[in-house]
């Protein structure tokens, strides 16, 4: 089973067209501009797929999406 952290890092690196090694769990993915508009939507869909739930609008908050750590803390560590 691939952990949520690993999948997120892989996904963000692919979308941002950077190496996985350049992103750690504390990399500020919004602040540092890793993801554009379309990529953020892709990230939402990935989290929904991993958690098997539809995100509530209230969960789309900057503090939750600050980095991989904050995403995993909020949505749990489910992997699939």
Partner 1 sequence: MAMKHAERHRTLASIEGPALDFMTRLDEVLCSWSAALGGQPRVYSPLLPVDKLHQSDHFSSFPHQATFAVSAAAEADNLKTFAADPVDGDGFLKTPALNPVRYCLTPGACYPIYLDLENQHLDEPLYLTVRSVCFRHETVTEALRRQPAFNMREIVCLGTSNEVSEFLAVLRPRVEALCAALGLDVTLQPATDPFFEPKHNSSYITQKLSMLKLEMQYQSDLAIGSINDHRQGFGTKFDIARGAEPAHSACVAFGLERWLYCMYDAHGPDAEAWPVAAADVSP
Beta carbon of residue 37, minimum distance to partner 1 (angstroms, whole number): 4
Cα of first residue to Cα of last residue in the chain, in angstroms, is 6
9 or 70: whose CB is closer to partner 1?
70
Beta carbon of residue 10, minimum distance to partner 1 (angstroms, whole number): 20
Task: Give CA torsion, residues 16, 17, 20, 23, to 10 deg.
Answer: -40
2 or 73: whose CB is closer to partner 1?
73
Beta carbon of residue 78, minimum distance to partner 1 (angstroms, whole number): 20
């Amino acid at each position: 089973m691939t952990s949520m952290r690993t999948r997120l890092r892989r996904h963000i690196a692919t979308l941002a067209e950077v190496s996985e090694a350049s992103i750690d769990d504390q990399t500020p993915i919004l602040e540092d501009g890793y993801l554009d508009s379309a990529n953020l939507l892709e990230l939402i869909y990935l989290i929904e797929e991993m958690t098997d739930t539809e995100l509530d609008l209230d969960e789309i908050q900057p503090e939750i999406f600050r980095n991989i750590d904050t995403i995993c803390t909020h949505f749990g560590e489910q992997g699939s």
